Structure 1
Amino acid sequence: MPYSYRPHHFEDFEAGQTFESVGRTVTESDFTMHSMFTGDWTELHSNAEYADDQEFGERVAHGPMTFVLATGFVYRCGFLERTVVAFLGMNYMDIPAPVKMDDTISLDMEVTETKELSSREDAGLVTIDTEMTNQHDETVFQGDMKFLVKRDDGE
């Protein structure tokens, strides 16, 4: 199956390597789908009248939704397609500003570490620092994502 991007194996990653996602506009459908999937109908995210009178003056994305959007950008870039074994977690995650409906967001990524694992001969650890910004270049998400990535078996 041909791809328009090149999946990376563990050996293809090196510290300092960068990736940049495309942008995408967050819609009301995104808010609704996240609420439906998670069951989180908190009024700050789902009730326009309520949210208008709150701190941000409008509905804002759920914090977990912001994280999910960031992970979606990582996978959409394609470098982990068919090579990722597992998402292993994060050392830190910050959401310094809210994602609002109709924001256009994108993600910048930098490989900060690759690590051989004595427990795995078939994969290694790749840590990617991420920063998601909106159309005003305001940071709305930061965090490092740790992935277990397959080694190239020569196929």
Structure 2
Amino acid sequence: MFQERYFEDYALGEQRQTIGRTITETDIVLHAGQTGDFYPHHMDAEWCKTQDFGQRIAHGTLIFSVAVGMTAGTINPLAFSYGYDRLRFIKPVFIGDTIHVQVTIADKRDHPKRTDHGVVVEKCEVFNQRQELVLVCEHLLLAQRRAL
């Protein structure tokens, strides 16, 4: 689905929310294979029983990747991802946890070099099924301005 939105069309405080997605053991194993991150925190169930969390935890980068994918719905040909800032892993995500993402337009600003575009800052908050914040970051969207 396509929807053209110019920089001026984004309103501060505007929100959207994704549906849920359950994190599985398969997700963790595939992510470990793709990234080479086989740390015992993710892969060794017996060792994890001796640690603070008591069980395996999902890679923070896995949760970030899944969350980003969950927020990518409508394609806007007038904007594109400019990067992510202030990424924090707040709480662990375990096998069987279900996450969803809330996106809020948190800021809009001029681009320092591209006067025909502006930067839209989307605050992305990832919550588990208990509504606990597990990850937060800022998605920077480079959006075309309307011609004057």
- Indicate the TM-score class for this superposition, using the shorter chain for normalisation: 0.7 to 0.9
The TM-score normalised by the length of structure 2 is: 0.86
Q: Which amino acid aligns with 1:119?
A: K
Alignment RMSD: 2.1
| Bigger strand share | 2
Secondary structure at the counterpart of residue 31 of structure 1: helix
> What SS does structure 2 have at the residue aligned with 1:35?
helix
What's 1:60 paired with?
Answer: 57
- Tell me the residue number matched to 1:105: 99
Partner of 2:83: 88
1:6-58 deviation per Cα after TM superposition (whole angstroms, max 9, x unaligned)? 45442321211111011110111110111111110001101112212211111
Corresponding residue for residue 71 of structure 2: 74
Q: CA deviation at 1:84?
A: 3.7
Q: State the Cα deviation string for residues 72-105 of structure 1 (Å, max 9, x = none).
A: 2221x32x55444333230x22222101111010
Q: Retained in 1: the 8 A contact 2:121–2:139?
A: yes
Counterpart Cα distance in 2 of 1:31 and 1:82: 33
Q: 1:131 aligns with which of 125, 129, 132?
A: 125
What is the alpha-carbon distance in structure 1 between the residues aligned to residue 27 and residue 4 of structure 2?
Answer: 27
Q: Which runs of 4+ in 1 moved over 3 A?
A: 5-9, 80-84, 150-153
Please list every run of 5 or more consecutive structure 2 residues that lacks an aligned counterpart in the other structure. Answer: none
Distance 2:30 2:51 in 1: 22
The residue identity in structure 2 corresponding to 1:124 is G
Give 2:132's aligned amino acid: E
Corresponding residue of 1:40:
37
Deviates more, 1:115-124 or 1:45-54: 115-124
Question: Percent identity among equivalent residues?
Answer: 29
